[in-house]
Amino acid sequence: VAQSQKGPGAPAWVAVNCDVHMVEVDVVLRGGDGDPILAHPPDTDSDITLREWLAQMGSTNKGIKLDFKSLAAVGPSLELLGQLGQSLDRPVWLNGDILPGPCGNRAPLDARAFLGAVTSSCPDATLSLGWTTGCHRGQVFLGAYYCSVFLVYMLDLNITLFLCFVCFLPVSGHRYSLTVWTGKEDVYSVEDLLLIRENFDKSRVYYDIFEPQNSEFKKAIGIE
């Protein structure tokens, strides 16, 4: 998955034209109440709108992942997705943090409102659900415990769709994938990554991690 964002030296079109299977973008409303744009908070402006980006994606066969940073952006964005029609015949992932996480530095999306909008407008999409995050050096949290809280919460919401868990969950079966995501400032060891690899179906685990852990992890599992 390639991330496509506004920023100096990293125009949003680059990921569209590179050799990847899916492209992810962060979505907010311009100025907080305008059109959906590609930007990551605290930015509220961008040099590309979601409409423009989707039009460009329509000429490719790449999958689409929308990471919603505000609930207000969900409805207008799903409406634009629906306008793609036949061009939407590709993987579509819809991401939202629906629970406050340890050290989370922003409010989560309202879970029932987010899920209601997604399931009514785009029922065939893959849900990518997680919790808010933040980095506070020197503080340690019990990830396994928090993941169990997250799982119980989702069961309470009666979530039965295809899910991509952006966390560490003791799950089995074939209706899930696990994405291990880390922030650039997060402190963790390769042993933490190996523990996850040893306890899940390797074909269902994906890693979105920074250096030097990325290279160290590849070396540890013998692919570099």
Interval 2-35: pLDDT, tens: 555 444 334 556 667 778 888 999 999 999 999 9
In-domain check, residue 133:
yes
Of 153 and 182, the structure prediction assigns the larger pLDDT to 182
Token representation of residue 204: 């269902």
**Least confident range of 21-35, 71-85, 137-151, 203-217:** 137-151
Task: Identify the helix (H) or strand (E) that includes residue 116.
Answer: helix 111-121
Residue 169 one-letter amino acid: L
Alpha-carbon distances, residue 178 vs 10, 84, 197 (angstroms): 27, 28, 10
In-domain check, residue 220:
no
Domain that holds residue 40: 2-184
In-domain check, residue 221:
no
Task: Identify the helix (H) or strand (E) that includes residue 92.
Answer: strand 92-99
Residue 216: is its pLDDT beyond 70? yes
User: What band does 157 get if pLDDT is binned at 50, 70 and 90?
Assistant: low
In-domain check, residue 194:
no
Is residue 197 within 8 A of residue 222, CB to CB? The reply is: no
In-domain check, residue 190:
no
User: What band does 145 get if pLDDT is binned at 50, 70 and 90?
Assistant: low
Q: Transcribe 141-162 into DSSP letters.
A: --HHHHHHHHHHHHHHTT--S-
In-domain check, residue 197:
no
Instruction: Report the interhelical angle of 50-57 vs 74-82 (nearest 10°).
Output: 30
Residue owning tokens 């540890």 = 220
Number of domains in the chain: 1
Token representation of residue 29: 């409303």
Task: Identify the helix (H) or strand (E) that includes residue 198.
Answer: helix 190-199
In-domain check, residue 218:
no
Helix, strand, coil in percent for the chain, rounding step 5 = 35, 20, 45
Is residue 206 within 8 A of residue 178, CB to CB? The reply is: yes
pLDDT tens digits, one per residue of 188-210: 888 888 887 887 788 888 888 99
Q: What is the CA radius of gyration of the chain?
A: 17
pTM above 0.85, yes or no: no
In-domain check, residue 91:
yes
Mean pLDDT over each residue of the chain, to the nearest integer: 79
Measure the CA–CA gap between 160 and 27, rounded to whole angstroms: 25
- C-alpha angle 85/91/94, rounded to 5°? 90
